[in-house]
Amino acid sequence: MPQFDLPLDQLRRYAPAVAEPTDFDEFWRTTLEAAAERPVLVDVRPEPTHLRLVDTWDVTFAGFAGNPVRAWYTRPAGADGPLPVVVEYVGYGRGRGLPHERLTWPVAGYAHLLMDARGQSGHYGPGDTPDPHAGAPGGPWPVTWGILAPEDYYYRRLITDAVRAVQAARALPGVDPGGVVAAGNSQGGGIALAVAGLVGDLAALVTTAPFLCHVQRAIEITDAEPYGEIARYLAANRAAEEAVRRTLSYVDGVTFARRAVAPAHFGVGLRDIVCPPSTAFAAYNQYGAANGRTAPPRREIHTYPFNGHEGGEAVQVRRQLAWLASVLAVPGVATGTATETATEPEETA
């Protein structure tokens, strides 16, 4: 797929006005306050993995409406003292899978909490968290569940789960509560971005190809899933457009990004038709713009001109590791910029 979005020189300046509900902050404040009325940790039990270099626990925490949400908690075996923790969110259609599938962060010396995505298991990988609230009016896909009202929308529940995952991580043994990082790709990247806008004391954000950014543009310029699922729903439910656009405005990553304060690392493939690059740049260019601070947060973005939704893959992960080590000053982890060949210049601020 050739580049179809704005050229890079325009992307670097792209900061569109995104519809922001007048009650956006109140909506999320009351939603999160209701979730916080319940103790966050429900169950933590050791998980046998037959891996010698890491230890893993099966965690259950109370998410939206107190619903049990599952997660894997993994640490370097024998690590002393509290560690920074990377709270990771999975992509669309995925569950948490098996504990040995995602070991990059614990092998790098971090604690790692991988949150399940309620109701999404079975498409790309198994999960263990049902969504008991999926019956509200809307379409058949997760991105359209309850889409006619923000109170019923699936992503209200998933984002609430994600904030609660941060709270759960801070309550786990061996975690530095001041060193919590939100991370993810695609849907996971969009959820991590939302967490950065809702949790004011994150240590860092690591996001690649974030979903749910500048959604109003995304549903107009791409038919790729998951945005294409919204378009197909509206093609059959023509009178629902106003309600759908209103609901989506409560979960737009640009609005969350404007409120964020944590240092941020972005990545985007310029041929990405799943999460178009202009939507990611819309969030990146406005990151921290409305957070009430005098100085903007530290941030940088890496672009991959010949890559699509896969982005920079292992190259991007190496950059994330070097950047995060420099931000957190992790003992025993080398800092500095990873050396690449044939790469693009980074954008920093």
Q: Please give the annotated binding residues for substrate, written as ranges.
A: 92
The CA distances from residue 196 to 63, 107, 108, 264, in Å, are 17, 24, 22, 9
214 included as an active-site residue: no
**Torsion (CA) 41, 260, 121, 218 in degrees, nearest 10:** 160
One-letter amino acid for residue 215 of the chain: V
- Tell me which residue of 173, 127, 108, 116 sits closest to 321, measured CA to CA: 108
Q: In 3D, which of 181, 184, 197, 186 has the Cα closest to residue 256? A: 197
* Cα separation, 69 vs 158, whole angstroms: 10
d(CA 96, CA 142): 16
Give the active site residue among 121, 186, 249, 278: 186
| Number of neighbours of residue 124 by Cβ within 10 angstroms | 14
Count the residues in the chain: 349
Catalytic site residue from 161, 272, 278, 302: 272
Question: Is 278 an annotated catalytic residue?
Answer: no
Q: Is the peptide bond before 226 cis (omega within 30 degrees of 0)?
A: yes
Beta bridge partners of 303: 268
**Which is the catalytic residue, given 214, 265, 302, 309?**
309
Question: What stretch of H or E contains 46?
Answer: strand 41-46
- What are the strands of the beta sheet with 264-269, ordered from one edge? 41-46, 54-62, 68-76, 111-115, 83-89, 175-185, 204-208, 264-269, 299-304, 347-348
- In whole angstroms, what is the distance from residue 205 CA to residue 211 CA? 15
Quote the DSSP letter at residue 55: E
User: Six-digit token pair at 37?
Assistant: 């009325």
Supply 260's token pair: 């964020």
Q: Hey, how many other C-beta atoms are within 10 angstroms of the C-beta on 295?
A: 8
* CA–CA dist 195, 168 (Å, integer): 14
Give the integer Cα–Cα distance in Å for 285 and 280: 9
The yes-or-no answer on residue 121 being catalytic is no
Q: Please give the annotated binding residues, written as ranges.
A: 92
The residues assigned a catalytic role are 186, 272, 309
